[in-house]
Amino acid sequence: MPGRFLTSVAVKLQGQIYIFDAGEGSQINLRKVKLGIKSLRVLAISHLHGDHCLGVPGLIMMRAQVQEAGSLTILGPPGTERFIRQLHESLAFFLNYPLSFVEWNEGSSEVAYEDDLVRILWGPLKHTTLCLGYRLEEHPRPGKFKKEAAIALGIPYGPLWGRLQRGETVTLDQGNQISPNLVLGPPRPGRKICYAVDTQPNQTLYRLCQDVDLAFLDGMFLPKHHEEARAKGHMTADDAARVAARSGVRHAVLVHISPRYTEDDMGEFADAAKGRFENAEIGADLQQFTIPYREEDP
């Protein structure tokens, strides 16, 4: 719709990009927010309904316009690889980097993907076809540096402090070794995001949402259209807000609002969501969120 693109969420962490779903035209908004396509590491597809995957070809082709982009991992349900490979064969578009596919199946591990920054978990939701929900978890960070402990151990202020903070064991001039656990507090949890659309509440949805900092959830219908939501495998705004509240989500953003609604209906959506969960809001195109570390909250 004009002013309301199809759902796609990009997560940027230390310059790397992870994208969840790509509806038609997603590459246009990616350009608008100036997220470099080269650093796209993972494209995670919820399911093979057109409104979630027809933007994938555009993103893949756009990424081929840069040099040495490195491999791209595509996560999705069975049929994802066939969809992309057939398209590549039919259109014979230029591709200058390798694609690697991971398709979910009944025996899949809960962890779909892992690199030096994050791990991505997945699981089947409850829709009219197999639809996957995702949870992105930043790796835990080393504990807080305890200055007093460092001083008491006679470690001079300087580069050695930095190395200990990064988890390295160091040797002092006197020859004694200091292991980082002597000067670091317990590891601090990383930030967590859930992305789950095109679903009704189910156990997997609750598990993927558990205690996340930010959840993007299907809030397609108003409560008065709940029968339609159930028939089409979606949630109403209050369904989504209830899931968020019950699973300890800190902040929920409801997305994938049905095109039957206009901007005038957004207030009713927000009321329905906030009635169940104070920290719920209705998402908008190009909206950006910065997730603070929990102990750095004001």
Q: Which residues are at the interface with Zn ion (CB under 5 A)?
A: 49, 51, 198
In the bound state with Zn ion, the residue whose beta carbon lies nearer, of 96 and 129, is 129
Q: Find, among 207, 254, 198, the residue nearest to 229 by Cα.
A: 198
Q: Which is nearer to Zn ion, 43 or 150 (CB)?
A: 43
Catalytic site positions: 51
C-alpha to C-alpha distances, 222 to 8, 167, 231, 274, nearest whole angstrom = 21, 50, 14, 13
Angle, CA 93 vertex, CA 92 and CA 99 arms, to 5°: 105
Of residues 113, 86, 146, the one with CA closest to residue 16 = 113
We find the least distance from the C-beta atom of residue 260 to Zn ion, in angstroms, to be 13
Residue 78's DSSP bridge partners are: none
Cβ 259 to Zn ion, closest distance in Å?
A: 11
The nearer residue to Zn ion, 45 or 72, going by C-beta atoms, is 45
Query: Residue 135: beta bridge partners?
Result: 121, 194
Q: Which one-letter amino acid corresponds to residue 210?
A: Q
Minimum distance of Zn ion from residue 252's CB (angstroms) = 18
Distance CA(155)–CA(288), nearest Å, equals 42
Q: To the nearest whole angstrom, how small is the minimum distance from the Cβ of residue 75 to Zn ion?
A: 17
129/203 with CB nearer Zn ion:
129
* DSSP string for 39-52: GEEEEE---SSHHH
Closest contact distance (angstroms) between CB of 141 and Zn ion is 35
Q: Rank residues 118 and 132 by Cβ distance to Zn ion and give the closer one.
A: 132
Cβ nearer to Zn ion, comparing 7 with 73: 7
| CA dist., res. 115 & res. 118, Å (int) | 6
> Whole-angstrom Cα distance, residue 286 to residue 223?
26
C-alpha angle 280-236-206 in degrees, rounded to nearest 5: 65
CB of 272 to Zn ion, least distance (A): 19
Distances (CA, A) of 168 to 28, 50, 178: 43, 48, 9
Q: What residues form DSSP beta bridges with 177?
A: 171
Nearest to Zn ion by Cβ — which residue? 49
